[in-house]
Structure 1
Amino acid sequence: MPLKKWTLQYLIAFPLLFAIFSSVQYFKGQTVSYSLKFGLAWAFIVIFIFAVRRTYNFKKRIRCDICNDIPSDTNKSK
């Protein structure tokens, strides 16, 4: 499992998602405290779901062109 690669990607994605979710709630008129809690909770939920699904796909050897964690069959034959 490419844990270093995934950890780096999640460390980049988490603050971005947090900022997006928090700012959307703030611009909708929510308080700063609520917006930060909302952003933190939903960023964690999204990252968790994506990580679980990505781990499942990796263990079952299900290819993902976007993730590119498992080499394709065409690369093996070359």
Structure 2
Amino acid sequence: MEHQVKELSPEQIPIGEVASYIKAMDRVFVRQQLAPHKIAEAFVMLSEQFGIHLPEGCVKVPEYEQMELSFNRGG
């Protein structure tokens, strides 16, 4: 038995379902410790797929990102 994926146009998907998906996506990204500006970029990209245009510059990209140093003990 094959699974068939039914493709819907963005206009056919209720906005409430899109909002629920975005909330779930945000929770996953936060748990994965994704940088806030990366989460915002994904939000903008998804919004545009559904015809929701956000203002230019709504994603604030930091000038630099904090780096993490790991030190090996005993070596």
For the criterion TM > 0.5, the same-fold answer is no
What TM-score comes out, normalization by structure 2 length?
0.37
What TM-score comes out, normalization by structure 1 length?
0.36
Higher helix fraction: Structure 1 or Structure 2?
Answer: 1
Structure with higher Rg: it is: 2
